[in-house]
Structure 1
Amino acid sequence: MALYLKAAQILEKAEKKQGALKTLVYDSRFPNIKQLFALVCETQKYSSVLRDIIESTKLLKLTKLKMPLAKVLVYDLLMGQGLKCGGSWKSAMMKHRPRLQAALARIKVKQKVSRNEDLLPAGTQQSDEHRLPRYVRVNTLKTTVEDVMDYVKRDGFTYLGEAVRLDDLNLKGKKFVRDLHLPELLAFPPKTDFHDHFLYKAGHIILQDKASCLPAHLLNPPPGSHVVDACAAPGNKTSHLAAIMRNTGRLFAFDLDAQRLATMSTLLLRAGLTCHQLANQDFLKVDPDSPQYKDVEYVLLDPSCSGSGMVCLRDNATADQKEEEEEARLARLASFQLRCLNHGLRFPRLKRLVYSTCSIHRQENEEVVAACLQQNPSFRLVHLLPQWPERGLEPLPQCLRASATKTLTHGFFVALLEKHSAAASAKQQPVLQKSDAAATPSGLSVMEEEPAASGGNSEASDSEERLTPTAGETDSQSTKRKKRKRKKKKKKATEKAE
């Protein structure tokens, strides 16, 4: 009973985009995590098929079940290992089993398939062919990459060296490599499980997808700096930032969800963080001009998004929603993300801000960044990792995209905004000395004055400048001075002629 209740609860949260599926499962503290994760993930994959079966048989009306619970029960009854519960639920499901099986058979006949797997959307079937490596980020606050590699070698894994191309991350058996882009990241064969491993339980390794490691890696705040992690839970990026900062400086982490923040606090404690300051607060209500943030120079912003890049949710994310509803939801998310991005740029001493999402939608990625740049002309995009195989959509190739097919990661997007330096801005404008600027007539702009100072015959310009009355001279004194200079000039000309 507890298994199905917990699975239904997680499924409902995942479909409402309240968190990544795996995070929700591991935050649940359910005794058998593997069993729960398998049930939720498989039910999610068949979500649209299960909905069709439930609706065609009017199961909700007949049993008074809610859709998420009905889905997990029908999945296990028809496609899984069989129901693992007793009592009234099992009795009700067994009563309707023939009708449910008939509905499934009709769907197969209609789609001209014989296997359950063939009912999955094409993209979901393809994702099985591109199963992602198990990425392990070494927590350098507690250990070193070399020590972790030695430890897993003693566990029977064979080290194949540092990857030099993407294909090197396609691993089988007990083999592993060091990632070609992130030096603290190791890659193992898909589904290698470290959740019960000593290194994971001791906080020496963090199980984090490669794409999710990019934001902190690219922001790269130096040790001793002050950093804001705007939407921090579940905390993997926060711990990565602290490791890059070597646990020095100040790391302000905010999240609106108190329960997620409590789970995050446990994770950060296990990871050995001491430089962080957690706050159960809406980032949009944080005052960037507050004295405590006066030294903040770096911001990592990974706001709520559609989650469309997550492999488990990717192809079913909109299966149960009408297209217009999905468009409206994306518009709301993009509006929120733009507000967060504009707010993040308000910190007075800000140098760099990373914006990232686990979304594949242009509305949440390139369009949000483009709108922000228009509203904040003092910031510009930094061209990230030139060798990265997947770029931002035009006209923003400076950004990064990630996907299961092209980068062997979850779907992701990263942009790095940097404030223009005063020196860079000055190079684009004519330079005036302070005395020149003070003497510029108020009716003329610098650009209007510049051609007069540099154009025409330079010798004539110098003569005109020398003949200009100096401060404090009267008109008569100026006239006498001019006459004396003309006489001297005429005398020099005569001597040259002789």
Structure 2
Amino acid sequence: MALYMKAAEILEKAESKQGALKTLVYDSKFSNIKQLFALVCETHKFSSILEEIIESTKLLKQTKLRMHLAKVLTYDLLMGRGVKCGGNWKTVMMKHRSRLQAALARKKVKQRVSKNEDLLPSSALRPAGELLPRYVRVNTLKTTVEDTVDYLKRDGFSYLGQASKLDDLTLKKRDFVRDMYLPELLVFSPKTDFHEHFLYKAGHIILQDKASCLPAYLLNPPPGSHVIDACAAPGNKTSHLAAIMKNKGRLFAFDLDAKRLATMSTLQLRAGVTIHQLAHQDFLKLNPDSSQFKDVEYILLDPSCSGSGMVCLQDDDSTADQEKNQMRLASLASFQLRCLNHGLKFPSLKRLVYSTCSVHRQENEDVVTAGLQQNPDFRLVPLLPQWPERGIHPLNQCLRASSTKTRTHGFFVALLEKHIADKKCKQEPAVHFSAPEELPHSMSKCQKRTADSETSETEDKPTSAAVKTGNTPSKKKRKKKKKRTAATVDK
């Protein structure tokens, strides 16, 4: 019974984007990791098919089971080795076995297949060559990239230097490289496992997809700043922000799920984060004018989304479900826009990163466009000009990511910056990230005008030598004018 309960718990977390499936399994500390991992992986793979069978037989209504537990039990009953536990669950599942088997058979007949695997969409059967690399972010709160590379080399890995093109991320078993865009990211072959590695258990490395590292990296809050992570769990972006801030300043992290926050607290402790303030609270209910948030200048907003960019989560192509998905996308986009508009209300805000792990324009460019129209004081900042995939025109300043063009999960990132027309403003420079190795900043238009005016003022000023002698051009003219006036009076 413990196996099915734990598998259902992990399946639910994975499908609600609370973490990578493998990481969730290993972090569970379950006694038989391999058995748990196999059950969760297979159930996850057939998840949409199992859900359709469960709904068509009205299993939940008749058994009072929760969906994820029902999926795990149904998988083992129909496609696995049979329900292994005793007690009420086995009795219940055996009672409904014939109906569940009949539903599976009907689905096979409808799709004209004979094997369970043939029911899976082609997207779920990706060639091995398309597997994503294993990305590892070095946690600079506890170590350095150089020390981590040295440790891994002593541990038998072969370091090939910094990548310069996408093909460099196709790696053999023990090879690894440093990413071409994110300097604290190391890249390994797809099946490299770090869950039992010392560096992972000690919090020196974080297992995080490359695209997921972009929001904190691009927001780039300086040490000592006040930052909000609006929808924080599971917490990888929060720990990344803390590392960029060097554990100096204040980092407010909010999430509505109490269980996710509890898990997040453990992860932050392992990562050595000390500046975070976790709160089980709805970001939309925060008062931007509260004295607690008067100094917040940076916000990372990664709201709930469809998760359509996650390689393991695929949209159903059926016509009926497309209509259902469109309704869901419209609801999500409305929520995302409310979050964006709310984030832009904080009075001291300088920059806000908006990101999703969705591939749908409705959740990405459309939300950002509406947000900019409703908040004219903000503008988009161009990001990473070398990045191979851009936002859909005309939002080319934004970034997109995909398994084919960037070798990551599907992702979207936009950076919004407050724009003040006053040429004496002290707004921070916009972030262009023109070089992969460093984070240079270019001037905002406001600062450029200020700089230009200062240059012209400097050109108009007398030289230091003229000041010292007192013979500035203007003084000479005044003396001559006085002499001419005196002469006229004398006449």
Are positions 1:367 and 2:366 aligned together? yes
Say if 2:181 is the partner of 1:156: no
More displaced stretch, 109-118 vs 216-225: 109-118
Could you say which residue in structure 1 is the equivalent of 2:192?
192
- Pair 33,216 (structure 1): closer, same or farther in 2 beyond 3 Å: farther
> Does structure 1 conserve the Cα–Cα contact (< 8 Å) formed by 2:310 and 2:357?
yes
Deviation at 1:251, TM superposition (A): 1.7
What displacement does 1:276 show? 2.3
- Bigger mean CA deviation after superposition, 372-381 or 70-79: 70-79
Kindly state the Cα deviation for residue 367 of structure 1 after the two structures are TM-superposed. 0.8
Distance 1:303 1:39, change over 3 A: same
Contact 1:21–1:312 (Cα < 8 Å) also in 2: no
Corresponding residue for residue 338 of structure 1: 337
State the match for 1:440 in structure 2: none
Aligned partners of 1:266 and 1:229: how far apart in 2?
17
Partner of 2:69: 69
Q: Which residue of 1 aligns with 2:435?
A: none
Q: Secondary structure at the match of 1:126?
A: coil
Q: Given that residues 17 and 307 in structure 2 are in contact (C-alpha distance below 8 angstroms), is that contact kept between their aligned partners in structure 1? A: no
Q: Distance in 1 between matches of 2:447 and 2:201?
A: 52
Using the alignment, how far apart are the partners of 2:99 and 2:258 within structure 1? Answer: 43
Tell me which residue corresponds to 2:255: 255
Residues 202-221 of structure 1: per-residue CA shift (max 9 Å, x gap): 11001111110000111111
Correspondence list, 1:60-459, <5 A: 67-90=67-90, 93=93, 104=104, 107-108=107-108, 110-126=110-126, 129-315=129-315, 322-421=321-420, 422-423=422-423, 424=445
Query: What's the CA shift for 1:161?
Result: 1.8
Counterparts in 2 of 1:187 and 1:425: CA distance versus 1, 3 Å: closer
Amino acid aligned to 2:330: A
- Distance in 1 (CA, whole Å) between partners of 2:396 and 2:447 is 26
SS at 1:160 equivalent = strand
What is the SS of the residue equivalent to 1:50?
A: helix
Conservation of the 8 A alpha-carbon contact between 2:26 and 2:195: no
Q: CA deviation at 1:266?
A: 1.6
Identity of aligned residues (%): 76
Q: Distance in 2 between matches of 1:172 and 1:319?
A: 38
- 1:246 aligned partner, one-letter code: K
Task: State the 1:96 CA deviation.
Answer: 6.6
Q: Quick check: 2:135–2:208 contact (8 Å CA) kept in 1?
A: yes
On the 8 A contact 1:353/1:418 being kept in 2, the answer is yes
**Structure 2 alignment gaps of length 5 or more:** 424-444, 454-491
For residues 231 and 4 of structure 1, what CA distance do their matches in structure 2 show? 29
Q: Distance in 2 between matches of 1:309 and 1:29?
A: 28
Residue by residue, what CA displacement relative to the aligned partner does 1:298-344 show, whole Å, maximum 9, x if unpaired?
1111111122212222345x879733332222222211211111111
- Asked if the contact 1:215–1:237 (Cα under 8 Å) also holds between the matched residues in 2, the reply is yes
TM-superposed CA distance for 1:381, in Å, is 0.6
Range 150-159 or range 398-407, more displaced:
150-159
CA distance in 2: counterparts of 1:63 and 1:249, whole angstroms: 51
Counterpart amino acid of residue 302 in structure 2: D
Q: Which moved more, 1:42-51 or 1:84-93?
A: 84-93
Q: Aligned in 2, Cα 1:302/1:58: closer, same or farther, shift over 3 Å? A: closer
Report the 3-state secondary structure (helix = DSSP H, G, I; strand = E; otherwise coil) of the residue aligned with 2:394: coil
Residues 11 and 44 in structure 1, CA contact (< 8 A), matched pair in contact too: yes
Of the structure 1 ranges 250-259 and 189-198, higher mean CA displacement relative to structure 2 is found in: 250-259
For residues 195 and 320 of structure 1, the distance between their equivalents in structure 2, rounded to whole angstroms, comes to 40
Change (3 A) 1:48 1:158: same
Q: Residues of 2 paired with 1:35 and 1:13: CA distance? A: 18
CA distance in 1, matches of 2:90, 2:5: 13
Q: Which amino acid aligns with 1:268?
A: Q
State the SS of the aligned residue for 1:211.
Answer: helix
TM-score by structure 1 length? 0.77
CA spacing shift, 1:321–1:4, aligned 2, 3 Å? farther
Distance 1:129 1:56 in 2: 36
d(CA) in 1 for partners of 2:257 and 2:63?
33
In the TM superposition, residue 91 of structure 1 has moved relative to its aligned partner by 5.7
Deviates more, 1:195-204 or 1:95-104: 95-104
TM-score relative to the length of structure 2: 0.78
C-alpha deviations, 1:45-95, integer Å up to 9, x for none? 212333455567776688675553333223234433554424454466567
SS at match of 2:142: coil
Which digits, 9 at most, give the CA deviation of each residue in 1:467-494, with x for residues without a partner? xxxxxxxxxxxxxxxxxxxxxxxxxxxx
Q: Given residue 346 of structure 2, which amino acid in structure 1 is its aligned partner?
A: F
Residue pair 1:127, 1:311 contacting (<8 A) in 2 also: no
1:45-56 correspondence runs (5 A):
45-54=45-54
Cα shift at 1:19: 3.6
**Corresponding residue SS for 2:126:** helix
SS in 2 for 1:234: coil
SS in 2 for 1:261: helix
8 Å Cα contact 1:10-1:21 kept in structure 2: no
The verdict on how the C-alpha distance between 1:265 and 1:89 changes in structure 2, with shifts beyond 3 A counting, is closer
Instruction: Report the CA distance shift for 1:190/1:35 in structure 2 as closer, same or farther (over 3 A).
Output: farther
8 A contact 1:27–1:263 mirrored in 2: no
**Are 2:18 and 2:233, in contact at CA under 8 Å, matched by a contact in 1?**
no
Query: Aligned equivalents of 2:165 and 2:19: distance in 1?
Result: 28
Write the distance in 2 (CA, Å) between the matches of 1:51 and 1:284: 32
Q: CA RMSD in A?
A: 3.2
Instruction: Report how far residue 129 of structure 1 moved.
Output: 4.8
Note the residue ranges of structure 1 that are not aligned, 5 or more in a row. 433-498
> Which whole-Å CA distance do the structure 2 matches of 1:420 and 1:56 have between them?
54
What is the deviation of 1:146? 1.5
Task: Give, as a single letter, the amino acid of the residue that structure 2 aligns with 1:143.
Answer: T
Whole-Å separation in 2 of the counterparts to 1:297 and 1:107:
54
Distance in structure 2 (CA, Å) of the matches to 1:2 and 1:388: 46
Instruction: Give the CA deviation at 1:34.
Output: 4.9
Contact map agreement 1:127 1:404 (CA 8 A) in 2: no
Where does 1:16-27 land on structure 2 (aligned, <5 Å)?
17=16, 19-20=18-19, 22=21
Q: Which has the larger radius of gyration?
A: 1
Does the 8 Å contact 2:307/2:357 carry over to 1? yes
8 Å contact 1:360–1:413 — kept in the other structure?
yes
SS at the partner of 1:161?
strand
Distance 2:346 2:68 in 1: 42
